[in-house]
Amino acid sequence: MNVGAACSSGGTNGIEQDPHVLAVDDNVVDRKLVEKLFKNSSCRVTTAENGMRALEYLGLGGDRQSCSSCQASDICPSHGLKVNLVLTDYCMPGMTGYELLKKIKESSHMKEVPVVIMSSENISARINKCLEEGAQMFIQKPLKLSDVKKLRCQVMQRRS
């Protein structure tokens, strides 16, 4: 499901049982893989193709003019959905996953949401920088079902 569309599987009444994951990746194939793996693990998934779209979805975009729901009302229904995990690629044009992580951790209402960075490059300095900034984990691409199960378990433990 893309940013701005209503979520399926679990409803939108605010009492969802399935964890809600925001998956951010500029590569459509990787985005679809992440979406499929999490949906198969009983998670609701929203996808964004870049960091700016993710920030808009999270209500951290700063420019409410770009969202028609925000223009029509002080409360935007698409920005009101709770996200339990942000999973983002590191290398993206415009805004890296590291920059997205920093924006999320600077936000007073989003800083407690776990952020996981993934990358196809295994660069120690990059990994350490992300972990020091508050990333919960750094995962090597391609994402595997075992990674998803581990993340889902951690999210469920945080919710209880």
> What would be the CATH architecture of the domain defined by 20-159?
3-Layer(aba) Sandwich (3.40)
At position 21, the amino acid (one-letter code) is V
Is 93 buried (19+), middle (13-18) or exposed (0-12) by CB count in 10 A? Answer: exposed
The model's pTM is 0.80
Distance from C-alpha of 147 to C-alpha of 125, rounded to nearest angstrom? 22
Q: Are strands 85-89 and 44-48 parallel, antiparallel or unpaired?
A: unpaired
Q: Is the dihedral of CA 103, 66, 95, 47 positive or negative?
A: positive
Maximum pairwise Cα distance, the chain: 46
pLDDT at 39: 97
pLDDT at 7: 32
pLDDT at 134: 98
- Which SS3 state, helix, strand or coil, does residue 114 take? coil
Kindly tell me if the per-residue pLDDT of 145 is higher than 60. yes
Kindly tell me if the per-residue pLDDT of 66 is higher than 60. no
- What percent of the chain shows pLDDT beyond 70? 78
95 with 89: CB under 8 angstroms?
no
pLDDT at 17: 77
Provide the mean pLDDT of the chain: 84
Geometric angle at alpha carbon 62, from 151 and 126, rounded to 5°: 45
User: What are the pLDDT digits (tens) for 69-120?
Assistant: 444 433 344 555 689 999 999 999 999 999 999 999 999 889 999 999 999 9
C-alpha gyration radius of the chain: 15
At position 98, the amino acid (one-letter code) is Y
Kindly tell me if the per-residue pLDDT of 65 is higher than 70. no
Geometric angle at alpha carbon 130, from 127 and 64, rounded to 5°: 140
The tokens for 157 are: 């433990």
pLDDT at 63: 53
Categorize the per-residue pLDDT at 64 as very low, low, confident or very high, splitting at 50, 70 and 90. Answer: very low
